[in-house]
Amino acid sequence: MKVLGIDIGGTGIKGAPVDTEKGEMLAERQRIPTPHPSKPDAVADVVAEIATHFKWKGPIGCTFPAIVKGGTVYSAANVDKGWIGTNGQALFEEKTNCPVVVVNDGDAAGIAEMRFGAGKGQNGVVIMLTFGTGIGSAIFIDGKLLPNTELGHLEIRGKDAEHRAADIIRQQKDLSWQKWAERVDEYLQRVEFLFSPDLFIFGGGVSKKHERFLPLLNTRAPIVPAQLFNDAGIVGAALAAEGE
């Protein structure tokens, strides 16, 4: 099945057609900066622009960096607060004239990694974490997703964890890999204490540079880099739409 996968992030919105049977993108992804302010209509216009770029007329899967239930957005940590209570599915369908499924961004990345990447064939508790503008998360128990976990908002030293350990914080504060790894390690140890996972999958764009920081992390559970890197959201969005 061919589905247009679109990954909506705090800094960029990117998409590409995906072959859901192979977990592969069928064209070079199109990326457009996230509008600022990232109000619903402005973001939906970018989603429509990506669909138009690919001349798309079929199903679309969209990630969103928030709690999403039944297509409606219930939080807004890294996007405009106007999203809270907005039916993103209906808005995107209106703008694109296509059937749309909206899914939490961390969940989408995890779905892709569990089917085609580092989590394939893994049982027990698997936690996927994506480090970018924020920290996305997905928990799988024997391959089944526990949706909308939002573990990036665990409190560490009086702050949301993503305000200390997201990749954008590393960049903004010009942290060395060692200093950033110390922050990530503190966060991972909190997550490990709470959930006792059997495997961590480390995703987001920074996972392409995993050799610089993964050896510096200390967890009881094995920690491996995502195999789909920063394309996991696009592929996972498409898989979520296929599932619907």
Mean pLDDT computed over 121-137: 95
Domain containing 147 equals: 121-226
CATH code assigned at 171: 3.30.420.40
Position 163 in a domain: yes
Position 8 in a domain: yes
pLDDT at 205: 86
Position 128 in a domain: yes
pLDDT at 105: 94
148 shares its domain with 85: no
pLDDT at 221: 97
Q: Is 33 exposed, middle or buried (0-12, 13-18, 19+ CB in 10 A)?
A: exposed
What band does 243 get if pLDDT is binned at 50, 70 and 90?
A: confident
Q: Could you report the per-residue pLDDT of 85-117, keeping only the tens digit for each?
A: 999 999 999 999 999 999 999 999 999 999 999
88 shares its domain with 148: no
69 shares its domain with 152: no
136 shares its domain with 210: yes
| Tally of structural domains, the chain | 2
210 shares its domain with 164: yes
pLDDT of residue 230 exceeding 90: no
Position 112 in a domain: no
Dist. CA 53–CA 49, nearest whole Å = 6
77 shares its domain with 127: no
Dist. CA 198–CA 30, nearest whole Å = 35
What band does 56 get if pLDDT is binned at 50, 70 and 90?
A: very high
Q: How are the residues of the chain apportioned to helix, strand and coil, as percentages rounded to the nearest 5?
A: 40, 25, 35
pLDDT at 10: 85
pLDDT at 229: 86
100 shares its domain with 139: no
Mean pLDDT computed over 52-65: 97
Q: Could you report the per-residue pLDDT of 167-216, keeping only the tens digit for each?
A: 999 999 999 999 999 999 999 999 999 999 999 999 998 999 999 999 99
10 shares its domain with 60: yes
Position 143 in a domain: yes
Beta bridge partners, 135, equal 131
pLDDT at 89: 98
98 shares its domain with 146: no
Mean pLDDT (the chain, rounded)? 96
